[in-house]
Amino acid sequence: MTRTPGPRLTISQAASYAGVTTRAIRHYHQLGLVDEPPRDGSGYRRYSARDVIDLIRIRSLAQAGVPLRRVGALLAADRDEFAAAVAEIDEQLRAEIRRLESHRTAIAQLATVDGLALPSEVVEYLDMLRDLGMSERVVALERDAWVIVSAQLPDDVRNWIATKRMTFEDPQVVAIYHALDEAFDLPPGDPRLEAIADQLADLFARSLPNPTIDARRQEPVDSTTVAMLDAETVERSPAWRHLGRLLEQRGWKGWSGVEPPEYVPPDADPG
């Protein structure tokens, strides 16, 4: 009298009756979820009805999203343990679903190329620049500067950009933006830069907002961030760099207009 009567199935037969793959069965052996069955004369595994039942129960748990490392304990659990474990697994499934839902929200937010890493308000601002006839090159420079700003100060960007948009109601601001756009490729010695510098100095006196300049006024922005913003904006054009020097001749601290970009720790007393 053998301890396990009935048919002795090969691994593929057992797999077929249990509704899993042979590879999955070997994997369950490796994890210790099912004992290795006895081998026949050829070294083939031979499975009993009991093994098939165990495999079906494992499959049920696995298909329900139960991690295999929890399956062993679950199969041996009593009613209360089982219920508790099932509740916990369900909570994990719900957390994962919440995570994916937030991914969907994020995907929808960045539904445009510009929107990558930018809040929608900045995207609208960039579209406004396009509507005003600014070149794609300048729009791209602005976009990249705002990517850095948005990553550093995600909570301040919306206010900041709203203020900036308002300044475009002033025709002189629009005009100087166009002038700067067109000056991008001028040689640094071009005399037209002098007129632009005059206009800029005039606007500076009225606090032209600009990510680079505003960043300097924003306490939490450190000097490295300012340097990165400059690298992506002013430094891109020799003419614009020269305009910085012309602004210094007019009594401003270059493009910054205000304080030099030394870093002031937030807890230091500026007095």
Partner DNA sequence: TTGCTCCTCACGTCACGTGAGGTGGC
> Contact residues for its own copies (CB under 8 A)?
4-7, 9, 13, 17-19, 48-50, 52-53, 56-57, 59-61, 63-66, 75, 77-79, 82-83, 86, 89-90, 93-94, 96-97, 100-101, 103-104, 106-113, 116-117, 144, 147-148, 151-152, 224-225, 227-232, 235
34 touches 58 (CB < 8 A): yes
Rank residues 44 and 263 by Cβ distance to DNA and give the closer one. Answer: 44
Q: Which residue has the tokens 């994020």?
A: 106
CB burial of residue 253 (10 Å; 0-12, 13-18, 19+): middle
Rank residues 74 and 128 by Cβ distance to DNA and give the closer one. Answer: 74
102 touches DNA (CB under 7 A): no
**CA 164/CA 251 separation, integer angstroms:** 24
Coil, helix or strand at residue 39: strand
We find the least distance from the C-beta atom of residue 228 to its own copies, in angstroms, to be 4
Rank residues 12 and 207 by Cβ distance to DNA and give the closer one. Answer: 12
Which tokens hold the place of 23?
């590879």
23 touches DNA (CB under 7 A): yes
**CA 85/CA 87 separation, integer angstroms:** 5
Task: Select the binding partner of residue 84 from its own copies, DNA, none (C-beta < 5 to 8 A, by kind).
Answer: none
Which tokens hold the place of 262?
């030394």
132 touches DNA (CB under 7 A): no
We find the least distance from the C-beta atom of residue 112 to DNA, in angstroms, to be 22
211 touches 142 (CB < 8 A): yes
Identify any residues that bridge with 45 across adjacent strands, giving them in sequence order.
39
**CA 97/CA 90 separation, integer angstroms:** 10
Binding-site member from 8, 34, 45, 122 for DNA (CB under 7 A): 45
Rank residues 27 and 50 by Cβ distance to its own copies and give the closer one. Answer: 50
Binding mask 62-81 for DNA (x = CB under 7 A): x----xxx------------
We find the least distance from the C-beta atom of residue 88 to DNA, in angstroms, to be 14
229 touches 149 (CB < 8 A): yes
**Which is it for the CA torsion 54, 57, 61, 64, positive or negative?**
positive
Task: Select the binding partner of residue 43 from DNA, its own copies, none (C-beta < 5 to 8 A, by kind).
Answer: DNA
**Residues of the shown chain interacting with DNA in the complex, contacts defined by CB under 7 A:** 10-13, 21-24, 26-27, 41-45, 62, 67-69
